[in-house]
Amino acid sequence: MTEHITEPRPPADAPVATPTAALSWRDGRLYRNAVPHRILSGAMHYFRVHPGLWRDRIRRVADLGLNTIDTYVAWNFHQPREGEPPSFDGWRDLERFIHMVGEEGLDVIVRPGPYICAEWSNGGLPSWLTAKDLTIRSSDPAFTSAVGDWFDELIPRLAALQACEGGPVVAVQVENEFGSYGDDHAYLRWSRAALTGRGIRELLFTADGPTELMLDGGTLSGTLAAATLGSNPDVARRLLADRRPDEPFLVAEFWNGWFDHWGDRHHVRGVESAVRTLRGIIADHGSVSIYMAHGGTSFGLWAGANETQGRLEPIVTSYDSDAPIAEDGRLTPKFFAMREALGAESSLRSPERLPVLPPARLPLVHRADLLPALAAVRARTTVSPRPATFEQLGLDAGMVRHIAHPRIPAGEHRLVFTDVRDRALVFVDGALLGVVDPNSPELTVSGAGGIVRLEVVVENLGRVNYGPGVGRAKGLLGPVLVDRRMVQGWQSTPVAIQEWSSVELSHALGAGPATTSAGFAAAELEVDTPQDTFLALPGSAHGFVWVNGFLLGRYWEIGPQVTLYCPAPLLRAGSNTVTVLELERLGETLELRDHPELGPPEEYVEEF
């Protein structure tokens, strides 16, 4: 029989005790509730995993021998439109995800940004915010005011889930790798105060690359300094120990794999190399978060981009990241090698791969040409002397359709796009003239002498998520010229495919007939029991795929990614509709494959 003891209630005027944080440190060692502790964490982003699979993936992370899951919080995922309250329902139910992690016996580290990088569109910052006249990631009052409003919604939810309140959250990160970006320490101090002032009592930490420059820019006195790295943990350990001898060694991101760009190769990290670095962190008495333990998928149009010497490098839809738990949840050889290196208990499970649909080939029925289909989906059109940008139209992702009616003299003339972000299909009188991008911004147009209908469909390939390019505008940012004369008088219409439902897709599909090689097509998939599958479009060039109205993401024949992962919860027993928007050349079939095809592998290890 258990004896229940009731604690005496303090008088009404007694001071309220401040909750004690679960994690603390002294003399270079980390403690959890005063007991020596090592954080063994794996990164998993709730926004990259279908909610129907959250628990399965959380359990697989636990089966890796880890005791913690860390996740970023993507502001733009919760509040894509200005003036609307943030959503915390459904796929965006962060609190449910955190509770679920706790139910599986794991701690949680939350990294609320507001900037998160993460190869996520705009680094998690809403495009409606970065379009404003303000300086992001700085102590600019216009920026901190907007972040404060967002944190007013977010942080109290996290505060209620802290370990000191009986929840699983044991640590919260201040900003994100700020030392790779700037040195506005007033902003960093504001960021820390924005967390504590809204109720965060658990361990706070910063995370930066292990160089003097980055640590100078991104660390704060009185706040634990963590490192992010892919190799040489001993170098990072010595650097941090020299600067902060009393602090425990924490690797907030151990890059055991890497992401991929369109047109590049598929980056992998060898098992032996990854495990050797992990063992080095452990040998240095370090705590670690494996980035990623499970990468998942940047569904829809949420994949970000990098920018190198002015050249955009858009990131693929898959965020597999060569993680120990693959995009579809498979346990890889890296999983078992890492689990052994972590000294995990032999009693841990090794869950089987989830069932996969058998391979199949389905005919693609071309239903409608591109331009009539886009015109069939109603949206507000803006008329202006120059083409309206994505930001001027309030459009975060997708495409913009521009129409003008210039007079083209007889003969051949240069059609020049002075600043196109990122890629545009150009049509003259309904016929495709060509494709322009920043590297190939000119086409030759032949005129018979008269007015033509010039249509330009501009595609946003992904917003930059790292470096000074975060927040760059999208669209036709400079004038369009016929030779040296500007084309003026434009109608600009947003094509917000990320927001389309089955209603908009049905309008597009019904805008036939189909007479060209680009446009909308559909295939019907009959399923007895919903199971995972991988979709491929042999012969198709570049476009987007929906399953039952859900936008899986972008495909592109330049690779490296070939297949799009379709998790079982997106399918239903019976008939399923797969819709394809092909921008250039539609193939004849849609293929279901029983394994991912992410492209030719290339070993990549990030080093400072």
First-to-final CA distance of the chain? 60
Three-class secondary structure of residue 84 per DSSP? coil
Contact 233, 214 (CB under 8 A): no
CA distance 585 to 270: 36
Contact 24, 31 (CB under 8 A): yes
Rounded to 5°, the CA angle 269-597-299 comes to: 90
Sign of CA dihedral 14, 18, 20, 24: negative
> How far is it, in rounded angstroms, from Cα 543 to Cα 545?
7
What letter represents residue 365's amino acid? Answer: V
Tokens for 151? 């944190």
DSSP 48: G
The answer to whether the CB of 579 falls within 8 A of the CB of 520 is yes
Return d(Cα 239, Cα 571) in angstroms, integer: 50
CA–CA separation, 495 and 397 (whole Å): 9
Active site residues: 177, 253
Closest CA to 143 of 153, 152, 130, 162: 130
Contact 570, 547 (CB under 8 A): yes
251, 70 in Cβ contact below 8 A? no
Q: List Cα–Cα distances, 90 to 25, 214, 550, in angstroms.
A: 37, 37, 14
CB atoms inside a 10 Å sphere around CB 14? 8
